[in-house]
């Protein structure tokens, strides 16, 4: 079995593959203060919950945008599974072609989800990743990463409204019933939820026009994407496990 772990700024998502089958996924909170022993305890609890046989793990791979805890998680995997996890960094074989400025460093999460898209969907494609940040990735017909956009994430925007204004409080993320706000909560939801959906549509239209070819597939991933994509005009394929699928492909390439 292969253990895949994606360490994000808000959550750590893990998935266990048996062959090409994703057996289960789980989420942990990203906590920069936790030790390797504490993360090992979390892993043991997750594996016990899903009746995972620790002796069957033969490889593990990590993508991380939080370098402060990468080693703690790697040590935890070693303690629990007895294997050294591959860290997705420079020098790891991914099979992904990249067309960006020569000195640009692409985040491990973007590489993993790009590989997942190339390996599972018709190209060219957009990937809309709605997590802590909102990102749009463009993959061309040959499977090459052509670039992306990055903007403030949905939750960051809502939290900023609540924290930086005296009269706007925190609200639950949902689709508003109207585009004309009559109360404070609806006004915030319209600006955030519908505004993000329209931003995705608008940026994708602009990128597609500049790219010069029609985009075959639009994939949505990330923890907040499901609340947004139903309001987009473009048809979106929801794949919450895209990054884990990409990590599995990369793990196989590096065995």
Of 122, 94, 128, 124, nearest to 108 (Cα)? 94
Q: List Cβ<8 Å contacts ≥24 apart for 38-46.
A: 39/69, 39/72, 39/73, 39/75, 39/76, 40/75, 40/76, 40/79, 40/80, 42/76, 43/14, 43/76, 43/77, 43/80, 43/81, 44/80, 46/14
Q: Does residue 109 carry a catalytic annotation?
A: yes
Q: Look at residue 104 and give its three-state secondary structure.
A: coil
Catalytic option among 6, 42, 109, 129:
109
Tokens 């919950």 sit on residue: 49
The H or E element that residue 148 is part of is strand 144-152
> What residues are labeled active site?
109
């Amino acid at each position: 079995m292969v253990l895949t772990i994606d360490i994000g700024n808000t959550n750590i998502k893990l998935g266990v593959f048996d062959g090409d089958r994703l057996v289960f996924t789980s989420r942990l909170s990203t906590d920069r203060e936790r030790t390797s022993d504490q993360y090992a305890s979390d892993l043991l609890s997750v594996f016990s919950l899903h009746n995972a046989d620790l002796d069957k793990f033969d490889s593990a791979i990590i993508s991380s945008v939080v370098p402060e805890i990468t080693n703690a998680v790697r040590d935890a995997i070693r303690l629990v599974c007895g294997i050294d996890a591959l860290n997705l960094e420079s020098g790891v074989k991914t099979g992904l072609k990249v067309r960006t400025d020569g000195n640009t460093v692409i985040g491990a999460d973007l590489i993993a989800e790009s590989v997942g898209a190339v390996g599972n969907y018709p190209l060219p494609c957009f990937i809309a990743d709605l997590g802590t940040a909102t990102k749009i990735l463009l993959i061309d017909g040959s499977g090459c990463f052509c670039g992306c956009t990055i903007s403030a994430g949905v939750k960051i925007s809502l939290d900023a409204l609540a924290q930086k204004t005296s009269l706007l409080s925190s609200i639950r993320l949902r689709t508003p019933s109207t585009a004309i706000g009559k109360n404070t909560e609806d006004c915030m939801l319209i600006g955030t939820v519908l505004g993000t959906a329209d931003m995705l549509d608008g940026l994708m239209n602009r990128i597609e026009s500049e790219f010069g070819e029609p985009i075959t597939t639009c994939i949505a991933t990330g923890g907040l994407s499901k609340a947004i994509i139903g309001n987009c005009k473009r048809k979106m394929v929801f794949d919450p496990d895209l990054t884990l699928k990409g990590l599995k492909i990369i793990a196989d390439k590096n065995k």
